[in-house]
Amino acid sequence: MTKDWQNPALLALTLIALPAGWLAYELGNPPLAAQLWNLSALVVAAVLILEIVQRLIRREVGVDLIALLSIAGAVLLGQALVAAVIAVMLASGRTLEFFTARRAERELNKLIDRAPRIASRMVEGQLQQIPVEEVMPGDRLLVRMGEVLPVDGVLLSLTATLDESALTGEPLPVTLQTGASIRSGGVNVGAPLELQASETAAYSTYAGIVGMAQAASQSRAPFARMADRYALALIPLTLLIAGLAWLLSGDPIRALAVLVVATPCPLILAVPIAIMSGISRCAKRGILVKDGATLEALAEAQVLFLDKTGTLTTGHATVQSVESSGAYTQEQLLHLAASLAQASPHPISAAIVAAASTNTRPLSTPEQVVEEPGAGLSGVVDGHQVMLGAHHFINANQPAQAWDEGMLRRMDYQDSSGSFIGVDSAMAGVVLFADPLRIESPNALRRLRQAGIRKIIMLTGDRAQTAQMIGLAAGVDEVRAELDPAAKVAAVQQGRKDGKTLMVGDGVNDAPALAAADVGIALGASGATASSEAAGVVLLVDRLDRVAEAMHIASRSRLIARQGVLVGMGLSLLAMLAAALGYLPPLAGAILQEGIDIAVICNALRALGAGFNANAASKLQGSHVDELKREHADLAQLLESVSHLADQFSTLAQDQAQNKLQRLLTRLETQLIPHEQADENELYPLLARHLKGEDPMSALSHTHREIFRLVKLLGRMNSDFSANSAALSQDEIGQTLLRLDTVLGLHFQLEDELFHNLDVR
């Protein structure tokens, strides 16, 4: 392999020899000038001969043969100055190629070079500096401010602030609490922290990332290998043109001029630099591409397969609502359920406890807790026998009541799951859960279609009804439900008949399907899972829209590579013809060819950037987006109240309906309307400056006006209903509430998606 110093040393030698020879010539010593120029050229020729022999030993044909022939021809024909200039151009081109390749691999090299070598292990209160390879699971480690986390582990300190920008491309630090799982590779930007290692360094997240980065930096794309073959085909063509020029003109200088301008640099430089620049650009955005072949396949993909849970949806169950059968209020039921759920490590139990954490009433300590795996929990809370779990667990050996049947039917319609609550041997209510669609999913799928995807298919093991609703909301073309891992593999393999396939997933059971696709893409922010190891692309930040970004980068890199080849080789061929006809002497040809090489390399480096007009909108600062999201979170309970009252208004007693409607109107007028008016008057003008188009906020402004109209209409209806209940039916008010609920739900979803897509992080 060429030493790092060799190309700069050759360049320095040729740059010294060229003016030294010129000085000798001006001082009246042409023989010395010729000797200096020929010497520098012969040194470069010797290096070329050595490299050609090394390639022949490896059974490779070197395209440097043309350059060697041009130097030899110039020396033999007494064109010492031409030989020296060719030597300078070759040395400068090789040096430029070397530094350009380093520039193209910069982001990959950053990932590799920052890998920690030393860890601080705590043993009996003493710190030991040990090689990171000696860290074992269970070791207590200290990570000081500014140090890279050496292994995956569990946070022992109360809090930790980590900068994961080198992994994910997200600029803002993340704050974690004690007990959190943390992955290697992040930088501690806060106080020194302690963690307990859960993996060795070799099996930690960052080791997998470094391994992929090293493989990518050494990879060769199919397009690059094809370009090499075309470059080799240039050798006989060049010799033919040079021979004809000499034969027809009788002037060997013309043959030399053809050799000088016949370098295949546009082929052998443009493609690998553009592809490597694309891989490096992906790494900067938290998208780790395994090799050049994967990047090329990514640019050609036409069929996309998506897992549902954790890919299209968040993969994290959240409490949607608490429903009561009548004996207890929603707050009482949540308190009882959460108090009991504290005793279980199940993620569903954790979600219930998290939902109750917003209440001011502290949770009680459960007693006599018994857990039946796959069924539920039972125990005593505040003197009540409480059960939490599946419907059959609560209602064992008893026929379902009307409330139970209605709730089960509603859960089926809404594609939600739930944990039923029994209190003192009676069905008391249910906690409903939802695995919501990722905010970016619809927008990401639209962008993927723009990037070249013609068909999107969702694969899931869930029930068909649930899968269909998620698929419709996300905008997929086809849903295949109730599939096991083998059936997912078969679906991906079958999809290849429609074009190159992508498979995106995040779970261990997705690994076979990821491996079966032309390109497997793993959402690997949670660590180096089996799915990450089977994938050709790993997203270090769990955002589905990064898939579309990866496709855009891949397509742009391949386009830039092709542009470099076509334009560069076109110019070289024109220069060869001009030289053959006698219009381009060897000295001018060498200078022209160097200009072509520099232009090709600079063009290839464009793949490092996002390009002009890369985004349809500029970005808001992450702090602005966080504030917008907090405002929406504060209004979530109000929106739930609108939905809840809309569902039950027509069935309520008249007095109860009037009271609930009046309380809701008061909240709408004091909380919702001021918020929406502030959005319309202050936020939307700000957002319009970040978006393209004449009036990009017009659709959302229209929904604002509809919200204002419906709230005003409800106020009038409430007045009429209070004055004369016979003049207005509860059904009419209920229908207006339903319309308001629908508009609010759609409006907030659109705003959440917009805020998410404008996030700078």
CA distances from 557 to 100, 208, 391 (A): 15, 25, 55
Query: Which pLDDT score, from 0 to 100, does residue 617 have?
Result: 46
SS3 content of the chain, % helix, strand, coil (to 5): 60, 15, 25
My answer on whether 83 and 227 are in the same domain is: yes
Residue 521: enclosing H or E segment and its boundaries? Answer: strand 519-523
Domain boundary residue among 386, 407, 434? 434
Query: Which pLDDT score, from 0 to 100, does residue 167 have?
Result: 62
Q: Is 655 a catalytic residue?
A: no
Whether the per-residue pLDDT at 692 is higher than 70: the answer is: no
Query: Which pLDDT score, from 0 to 100, does residue 430 have?
Result: 92
My answer on whether 303 and 325 are in the same domain is: no
Given the structure tokens 């917003």, which residue do they identify?
A: 358
| pTM confidence score | 0.66
Q: Which of 325-329, 419-423, 520-524, 671-675 has the lowest mean pLDDT?
A: 520-524
Residue 637: enclosing H or E segment and its boundaries? Answer: helix 622-648
CATH code of the domain covering residue 148: 2.70.150.10
CATH code of the domain covering residue 416: 3.40.1110.10
- Please give the Cα distance from 102 to 601 (Å, whole number): 13
Residue 177: enclosing H or E segment and its boundaries? Answer: strand 174-177
Whether the per-residue pLDDT at 223 is higher than 60: the answer is: no
Whether the per-residue pLDDT at 616 is higher than 70: the answer is: no
| Residue 746 within a domain | yes
Close Cβ partners of 685 (under 8 Å, ≥ 6 residues apart): none
Higher-scoring residue by pLDDT: 451, 224: 451
What average pLDDT does this structure show over 103-111? 63
What average pLDDT does this structure show over 410-432? 82
Residue 286, classed as helix, strand or coil, is: coil
- Please give the Cα distance from 365 to 362 (Å, whole number): 10
Residue 378, classed as helix, strand or coil, is: strand
| Residue 388 within a domain | yes
As a residue count, the chain comes to 761
Higher-scoring residue by pLDDT: 414, 240: 240
Whether the per-residue pLDDT at 40 is higher than 70: the answer is: yes
| Per-residue pLDDT reduced to its tens digit, 536-595 | 888 877 788 889 889 999 999 888 888 887 787 788 889 889 999 989 998 888 888 878
My answer on whether 65 and 143 are in the same domain is: no
Average pLDDT of every residue of the chain: 80
| Residue 467 within a domain | yes
Whether the per-residue pLDDT at 230 is higher than 70: the answer is: no
| Per-residue pLDDT reduced to its tens digit, 440-497 | 788 888 888 888 899 999 988 776 776 777 888 788 889 888 777 778 888 988 988 8
- Please give the Cα distance from 645 to 663 (Å, whole number): 11
Contact 527, 280 (CB under 8 A): no
φ and ψ at residue 254, rounded to 5 degrees: -65, -40
- Please give the Cα distance from 592 to 587 (Å, whole number): 9
| Residue 604 within a domain | yes
My answer on whether 651 and 594 are in the same domain is: no
Give me 452's structure tokens: 């070249």
Contact 17, 40 (CB under 8 A): yes
- Please give the Cα distance from 51 to 65 (Å, whole number): 10
| Residue 110 within a domain | no
Residue 330, classed as helix, strand or coil, is: helix
Higher-scoring residue by pLDDT: 152, 360: 152
Query: Which pLDDT score, from 0 to 100, does residue 413 have?
Result: 66
Query: Which pLDDT score, from 0 to 100, does residue 305 have?
Result: 93
| Residue 111 within a domain | no
My answer on whether 89 and 126 are in the same domain is: no
DSSP character string of 242-257: HHHHHHHH--HHHHHH
Give me 703's structure tokens: 């929904």
My answer on whether 100 and 231 are in the same domain is: yes
My answer on whether 749 and 658 are in the same domain is: yes
Q: What proportion of the chain, given as a percentage, has pLDDT over 90? A: 8
| Residue 550 within a domain | no
Query: Which pLDDT score, from 0 to 100, does residue 529 have?
Result: 46
What's the N-to-C CA distance of the chain in angstroms?
A: 40
Could you give the number of structural domains in the chain?
5
Q: Hey, which of 15-29, 428-442, 718-732, 744-758 has the most confident mean pLDDT?
A: 15-29
Residue 489: enclosing H or E segment and its boundaries? Answer: helix 485-495
Task: Name the active-site residue from 291, 307, 435, 462.
Answer: 307
- Please give the Cα distance from 376 to 388 (Å, whole number): 5
φ and ψ at residue 2, rounded to 5 degrees: -65, 130
Query: Which pLDDT score, from 0 to 100, does residue 570 have?
Result: 82
Close Cβ partners of 679 (under 8 Å, ≥ 6 residues apart): 704, 751
- Please give the Cα distance from 661 to 737 (Å, whole number): 10
My answer on whether 582 and 513 are in the same domain is: no
Query: Could you tell me the residue range of the domain that residue 516 belongs to?
Result: 287-314+437-540
What one-letter code names the amino acid at 734? G
Given the structure tokens 């999809």, which residue do they identify?
A: 495
My answer on whether 452 and 464 are in the same domain is: yes
Query: Which pLDDT score, from 0 to 100, does residue 112 have?
Result: 66
Q: How many Cβ atoms sit within 10 Å of the Cβ of residue 109?
A: 17
Higher-scoring residue by pLDDT: 507, 90: 90
Residue 323, classed as helix, strand or coil, is: strand
Contact 397, 373 (CB under 8 A): no
| Per-residue pLDDT reduced to its tens digit, 261-318 | 886 665 666 778 888 888 888 888 888 888 788 888 898 899 999 988 778 887 777 7
What one-letter code names the amino acid at 201? A
Given the structure tokens 């020879």, which residue do they identify?
A: 21
Query: Which pLDDT score, from 0 to 100, does residue 1 have?
Result: 39
Domain boundary residue among 189, 215, 241? 215
Query: Which pLDDT score, from 0 to 100, does residue 530 have?
Result: 44
Query: Which pLDDT score, from 0 to 100, does residue 280 have?
Result: 83
Whether the per-residue pLDDT at 131 is higher than 60: the answer is: yes
Give me 416's structure tokens: 């939600």
CA distances from 442 to 21, 347, 447, 549, 750 (A): 67, 26, 9, 14, 10
| Per-residue pLDDT reduced to its tens digit, 667-679 | 999 988 888 888 8
| Residue 109 within a domain | no
My answer on whether 560 and 646 are in the same domain is: no
The distance from CA 672 to its chain's CA centroid, rounded to whole angstroms, is 35
Query: Which pLDDT score, from 0 to 100, does residue 276 have?
Result: 83
My answer on whether 387 and 481 are in the same domain is: no
CATH code of the domain covering residue 293: 3.40.50.1000
Query: Which pLDDT score, from 0 to 100, does residue 2 have?
Result: 43
What average pLDDT does this structure show over 206-230? 60
Whether the per-residue pLDDT at 379 is higher than 90: the answer is: yes
Q: Which of 673, 681, 709 is closest to 697 using CA atoms? A: 681
My answer on whether 627 and 734 are in the same domain is: yes
- Please give the Cα distance from 214 to 113 (Å, whole number): 10
- Please give the Cα distance from 446 to 476 (Å, whole number): 10
- 528 pLDDT band, cuts 50/70/90, is very low
What average pLDDT does this structure show over 156-173? 73
- Please give the Cα distance from 488 to 458 (Å, whole number): 10
Whether the per-residue pLDDT at 619 is higher than 60: the answer is: no
What one-letter code names the amino acid at 132? V
Domain boundary residue among 197, 215, 233? 215
CA distances from 149 to 193, 400, 711 (A): 10, 54, 53
Burial class (CB within 10 angstroms; exposed 0-12, middle 13-18, buried 19+) of 617: middle
Give me 204's structure tokens: 């930690």
Residue 371, classed as helix, strand or coil, is: strand
Residue 327, classed as helix, strand or coil, is: coil
Q: Which of 704, 740, 718, 734 is closest to 663 using CA atoms? A: 718
